[in-house]
Structure 1
Amino acid sequence: MEVSCAFPTALDSPDNIALAERLGYARAWVYDTPQQSPDVWMTLALAAVRTERIGLGPGVLVPSLRHPMVNAAATATLAALAPGRTAVAFGTGFTGRRAMGYRAITWSYLEAYVRVFRGLLRGEVVEWEGAQMRMLHPDGHAPARPVEVPILIGALGPKGHKVANELGDGLFVTIQLPEFITDYSWVPYLVWGTVLDEGEAQDSEHARNAGGPGWALAYHGAYEFEGPDAVRELPGGNEWMEVVDKMPADRRHLAVHAGHCVELNQADRAAWSAGGHSMLRDVTVSGTREQVRRRLDDLASSGVTEVVFQPCGPDTGAELERFLEAASAV
Structure 2
Amino acid sequence: MSGYVVKKLCNLVFQVFLVVSLMFILFRLLPGNPASLILGPGATQAEVDNLRETMGLNQSLGVQYVNYLKNLLTGDLGFSYSYNQPVFEVIKNRIIPTLQLMAGSILVSVVIGVSAGIFSGVYPDSKLSKVLLMLWVCVLAVPNFWLGLVLVQIFAVKLGVLPAIGYGSFYAMILPVLAIAARLIALIARITRSAVMEVVNEEYVRFAEAKGMQTGVIIFRHILRPALPPIVTMVGMQAGYLLGGSVVIENLFSYPGMGQLLLAAVSFRDYELMQGITFFFVLAFLSINLIVDLLYGQIDPRIRLE
**TM-score normalised by length of structure 1:** 0.25
Return the structure number with greater relative CO, CA threshold 8 A, min gap 6: 2
The structure carrying a bigger strand percent of its residues is 1
More helix by share: 2
The alignment's TM-score, normalised by the length of structure 2, stands at 0.26
